[in-house]
Amino acid sequence: MVLDKVAAIERRYEELNEMMADPAVMADPARLAELAREQAEIEEIVGVYRAYRAAEAELADAQSLVETETDAELVELAEAEVARLKAEQEARLAQLQRLLLPKDPNDDKNVIVEIRAGAGGEEAGLFAADLFRMYQRWADAHGFKTELMSQSETGIGGFKEVIFQVKGRGAYSRLKYESGVHRVQRVPVTEASGRIHTSTATVAVLPEADDVDVEINPNDVRIDVFRATGPGGQSVNTTDSAVRVTHLPTGIVVSCQDEKSQLQNRNKAMAILRARLYQIERERLAAERSEARRNQVGTGERSEKIRTYNFPQNRVTDHRIGKTVYNLPAVLNGELDEFIEELATTEQAERLQALEGEA
């Protein structure tokens, strides 16, 4: 069944090649871009399928050699090759099964990340700042762009709250696993006695909502303007450029004051509001589908701590998958892929198991 589906996808890939080579299509940039996007979406599946078929051909040759060869040494080598190729085929087939899973429609979107200090006072704010820098470095290393949208500082280099955007195709597909409560165990700079404290910060990763995703009735929104406070440019603190948006039906309040222009602050606040409303709707739909969906790895709906950063032991543990690495500075420097890859694999395995159970 899997191979039949993939073979059909490969045929479509070849059709797209022919269509894009058509002079009429080449003369239509919009149509050409549409076909190129469709091809890009299935390119990985086609590549894995072709590697699977190549291994299949090699396997047939190796098995033939085992059956016909009389030299014992050559037969032993051929048997070893058969075992290797069978393992490779099984791995490719499992990869194809994962690639055929329904894709999260938000995976390609930009994200809005909200980090808030939790329990732990000033130390929680400092930890929130550490997480902010960690995600900035991760984004830089992967070619994503970050843009600060809103911040509330503690005065000693920490954040009560910081909201920023990560722009780039596939940002949500990677960062969605970071939603949840992050815990740090260390001696705070504010601690004179040298005792280890435990503090927390919460991370919410929201897919950016387009206007078509969330329709906001202008009558449901109250917009207030006020004078910005805190550090900023000359005009930031002398004009009513700061904006507070209140969504009356839900009571959600978003304030932005970091830009010089009232319009820029308003646009940022509305973008955050749209993302929050979109997330509320997604969670409502998820709750209606099933309890299992709410407990799925990486949804961000679980209230328990997802990861602990233990400084005395140089240890970072992700509690969802039981994974521990002993290189805390590297993780805080943005080296998160080891966790993200395993979380993605775990989620895919759970989704495959759920599909098999439905079948």
CATH number of the domain at 177, please.
3.30.70.1660
Nearest residue to 127 (alpha-carbon basis) of 94, 145, 154 = 154
- Confirm whether 22 is domain-assigned: yes
Residue 16 scores a pLDDT above 80:
yes
- Confirm whether 259 is domain-assigned: yes
Other CB atoms within a 10 A radius of the CB of residue 336 amount to: 25
Q: Is residue 282 within 8 Å of 109, Cβ to Cβ?
A: no
Task: Judge if 89 and 238 occupy the same domain.
Answer: no
Task: Judge if 128 and 57 occupy the same domain.
Answer: no
| pLDDT given at position 350 | 80
How many domains does the chain fold into?
A: 3
Task: Judge if 173 and 319 occupy the same domain.
Answer: yes
Residue 289 scores a pLDDT above 60:
no
Task: Judge if 25 and 63 occupy the same domain.
Answer: yes
Task: Judge if 34 and 76 occupy the same domain.
Answer: yes
Task: Judge if 118 and 198 occupy the same domain.
Answer: yes
Last residue of a domain, one of 228, 251, 284: 284
Last residue of a domain, one of 41, 65, 99: 99
- Of the pLDDT bands very low, low, confident and very high (cuts 50, 70, 90), residue 230 is low
Strand partners, 226: 242
3-state SS, one letter per residue, for the chain: CHHHHHHHHHHHHHHHHHHHCCHHHHCCHHHHHHHHHHHHHHHHHHHHHHHHHHHHHHHHHHHHHHHHCCCHHHHHHHHHHHHHHHHHHHHHHHHHHHHCCCCCCCCCCCEEEEEEECCCCHHHHHHHHHHHHHHHHHHHHCCCEEEEEEEEECCCCCEEEEEEEEECCCHHHHHHHHCEEEEEEECCCCCCCCCCEEEEEEEEEEECCCCCCCCCCHHHEEEEEECCCCCCCCCCCCCCCEEEEEECCCCEEEEECCCCCHHHHHHHHHHHHHHHHHHHHHHHHHHHHCHHHHCCCCCCCCCCEEEEEECCCCEEEECCCCEEECCHHHHHCCCCHHHHHHHHHHHHHHHHHHHHHHC
Average pLDDT over residues 276-285: 83
Nearest residue to 113 (alpha-carbon basis) of 50, 205, 175, 188 = 205
- Confirm whether 294 is domain-assigned: no
pLDDT tens readout for residues 70-116: 888 888 898 999 999 999 988 888 888 878 877 788 888 899 999 99
| Angle subtended at Cα 51 by Cα 47 and Cα 52, rounded to the nearest 5 degrees | 115
Lowest mean pLDDT among 140-154, 180-194, 251-265, 280-294: 280-294
CB neighbour burial string for 126-148, b if at least 16 within 10 angstroms, e if fewer: bbbbbbbebbbbbbeeeebebee
Task: Judge if 203 and 136 occupy the same domain.
Answer: yes
- Confirm whether 349 is domain-assigned: yes
Task: Judge if 306 and 194 occupy the same domain.
Answer: yes
In angstroms, the CA 299 to CA 200 distance is 19
pLDDT tens readout for residues 181-214: 999 999 987 776 778 999 999 999 988 877 556 7
| pLDDT given at position 162 | 93
**pTM of this structure:** 0.66
Q: What is the CA radius of gyration of the chain?
A: 26
Which structural domain range is residue 168 located in?
111-209+300-354
Scan for tokens 């032993």, then name that residue. 76
| Encoded amino acid at 359, one letter | A
| pLDDT given at position 291 | 45
In angstroms, the CA 148 to CA 183 distance is 23
- Confirm whether 265 is domain-assigned: yes
Task: Judge if 191 and 120 occupy the same domain.
Answer: yes
- Confirm whether 336 is domain-assigned: yes
Task: Judge if 332 and 272 occupy the same domain.
Answer: no
- Confirm whether 290 is domain-assigned: no
Q: What is the distance in angstroms between the CA of the first residue and the CA of the last residue of the chain?
A: 13
Task: Judge if 279 and 194 occupy the same domain.
Answer: no
CATH number of the domain at 237, please.
3.30.160.20
CATH number of the domain at 86, please.
1.20.58
Last residue of a domain, one of 99, 133, 152: 99
Residue 237 scores a pLDDT above 60:
no
In angstroms, the CA 132 to CA 120 distance is 17
Task: Judge if 153 and 268 occupy the same domain.
Answer: no
- Confirm whether 292 is domain-assigned: no
Average pLDDT over residues 282-306: 52
Residue 257 scores a pLDDT above 90:
no
- State both tokens at 63: 């098995």
Report the chain's mean pLDDT, rounded to a whole number: 85
Region at 258 (left for phi over 0; alpha for psi -120 to 50; beta for the rest): alpha
